[in-house]
Amino acid sequence: MKDISYHILDIVRNSLNAGARMVEIHILEYSQTGQLVLKIKDNGSGMKEEMINKVTDPFFTTSVKKKVGLGLPLLKQNAELTGGRFSIESAVQKGTLVEAVFNLHHIDMIPIGDLALTFRTLIASSPDTDFLYRYRVDDCGFDLDTAEIRMRLEGVSLNTREVLDYVTDAIHANLKALKGWK
């Protein structure tokens, strides 16, 4: 079953394929409206306007290996199934912003999944890319910025067991604190 983490992995992969050096992942929950907003922003090659209109069509892909591109259409579908919405903004040579809004209390809301593992996988597979991970519930939350961690590491690769464990633990600990998870 698809979950939010799976979508993040999928959408960030698009950013990496577009040559992004920096990807921001924002997960913003609002208790008043019961909404979860997922934003993924990159500084990759971007898309032309006519392409933006096509990308939510499941039969559109620029991949030469396959005939369908499902990443964006599936995210759109899962957001809309909860009564939410989906949008893309993009500019050539500047980058892309994908935004999906979910209604958390809708019966078709998908689970959040394992965000710590997703983030770990992304860093391990692209240790030279800068990732900003932001999770907020109303005014509380936390940021994990690999550019900042990289600076503190003074040349040590992010793709080492110790760093990846640190990142996973930090995300788990913060989610626990934020959500009151055991």
Contact set with Mg ion (CB under 5 A): 14, 71
The residue among 44 and 84 lying less far from ligand ATP, judged by its C-beta, is 44
The residue among 14 and 146 lying less far from Mg ion, judged by its C-beta, is 14
Secondary structure class of 14 (helix, strand, coil) = helix
- Alpha-carbon distance of 83 to 103, in angstroms, equals 6
Kindly state whether residue 89 participates in binding ligand ATP, applying the rule CB under 6 A: no
Question: Which of 43, 78, 96, 126 contacts ligand ATP by CB under 6 A?
Answer: 96
Residue 47 contact, options Mg ion, ligand ATP, none, Cβ 5-8 Å cut-off depending on partner type = ligand ATP
- Alpha-carbon distance of 168 to 115, in angstroms, equals 9
Helices and strands per DSSP (H, E), number in the chain: 6, 6
* Minimum distance, C-beta of residue 63 to Mg ion, in the bound complex (Å): 8
* Minimum distance, C-beta of residue 33 to Mg ion, in the bound complex (Å): 29
Kindly state whether residue 130 participates in binding ligand ATP, applying the rule CB under 6 A: no
Of 80, 79, 78, 100, the residue nearest 89 (C-alpha): 100
Which amino acid, 13?
Answer: R
